Structure 1
Amino acid sequence: MSYDVIIVGGGFAGMSAALQLARARRPILVVDAGQPRNRFAAASHGFLGQDGAAPAAIMREALRQLSAYPTVDFVHGRAASATGELDRFEVILEDGDVQTARRLVLATGVADTLPAIPGLTERWGQSVMHCPYCHGYEVRDRRIGVLANHPMASHQALMLPDWGPTTFFTQGVVAVDAELSGKLAARGVAVETTPIIEVLGVAPAISGVRLADGRIAPLEAIFTAPKTAPASDLAQQLCCALEDGMTGPHVKLESGQQTTVPGVYSAGDTASPMHNATLASAAGVMAGIGAHQSLIF
């Protein structure tokens, strides 16, 4: 069948968009590959009413609630390609199934690329994290390291002393001038210019890090901003413009979460330089409303 809206991505953003459209009684399809960015995290924090809940549990409940609406269909699978224009979009799934819709919402998230340091990847989302607001409280009063991976990493280093004693590992990425040195000192942040070459301990825990000169620095948690890129190339296939963010490119938006292509909306991490569950959900609400109102007006 043909739908009013196909939503690609069933995470916080996609399901929030779907809920608005379901309640507007519009026939919609949610396509989800089941590979959310937060699948490595045991709990989601800072999300009002869901603080401490497992992301998978939140999404199971979201699916249960959405399934009560008769105009909502779900497909577990990956959207391989998308083409078309306003009122005539076509999405081809990886299994060859073809679905059509008048509007699209892309909520496909981003893929993370961590620094190539042994021991980081297996701890990602557990003791190696990216968001102080999402995970800082859980490592409060522990020894925290900030691993520089982009020029603005010092911003993270200045924030984290609110949660625990912090060391800023510049990794040759950030030059600490007199002004920055003064700010870090005022916040009690230690600065280490010798690069980390290995994370130590029994994963997912961290006992310390090995530095390039052989020294061992004791640590219990690491924050770093991975390089990010859209997890799907559907936006590029549809000729949606991208713009550069702090950690990588994201879909460029106009008003109401619409992309630069009429009829294509986007929400969540794939369309924002700020990555947070609450922000993704709110953007999904706006994308769902934007898509619905475009069908009317």
Structure 2
Amino acid sequence: MTSTADLTPHGNYADYVTGAPVADTAAPDGPIAERWDRRRFEAKLVNPANRRKHTIIVVGTGLAGGAAGATLAEQGYHVEQFCYQDSPRRAHSIAAQGGINAAKNYRNDGDSVHRLFYDTVKGGDFRARESNVHRLAQISVEIIDQCVAQGVPFAREYGGLLDTRSFGGVQVSRTFYARGQTGQQLLLGAYQALSRQIAAGSVAMHPRTEMLDVIVVDGRARGIVARDLITGKIDTYFADAVVLATGGYGNVFYLSTNAMNSNATAVWRAHRRGAYFANPCFT
């Protein structure tokens, strides 16, 4: 689960940090191929000189949380990062195996952002949110570049170019992979980027700490209540924005390949405070 400052879908933390009106609660309107480009252009930006004045809480250190914490810290924000494992490397993202899809079209076999969008919506039995899926297809190209820059050892062809394979019944070869360890290698890439920011003092890491509740002020998440799992001490942390990257619904199902502690407690605690909750059957 990923949520942002106003606990509504598609909220933009930059809107809140700059004191702008609350982000709207629906996807942008207009042609689907233009929605997010226009949304990103219209969003109010935070001046780089002002970012150091703001603190952002990131709960979770998997692929979403680790990458978010590292990126926000690189941009100049102060980040308070929380995970209930003893190390960010223990996040359940490590269990992903098959690969990661991106519309790079390295094989020149007709792939494109639109085709990745179409295949993903079709693969989801036309129940996925199309606006979100198109945004995912758009940024897939940049995600691969970011992972390579972080040192992820993707499989390569003999000439040194990134290799791809067909995966999941699609018609083109678009899956980037690292043997059967794609999730592990991606997580280690995000972890070393996060570790660099921890060493620089931009990220304060709180391992073995569980989020007990979300602090909501005027409909916006402004902090969390967390418990140290070693000492049992309960503390309150405040920030300008909160990013929840706490994983999926997991072991609410009897049969699940998720780790036993992927138990949806953070999802439930956010929902109890007003976060929208949708599609629990997609795990």
TM-score by length of 1: 0.30
Q: In proportion to residue count, which structure has more strand?
A: 1
The structure whose Rg is larger is 1
Q: In proportion to residue count, which structure has more helix?
A: 2
TM-score by length of 2: 0.31
Work out which structure has the larger RCO, using CA pairs closer than 8 Å and 6 or more positions apart in sequence.
2
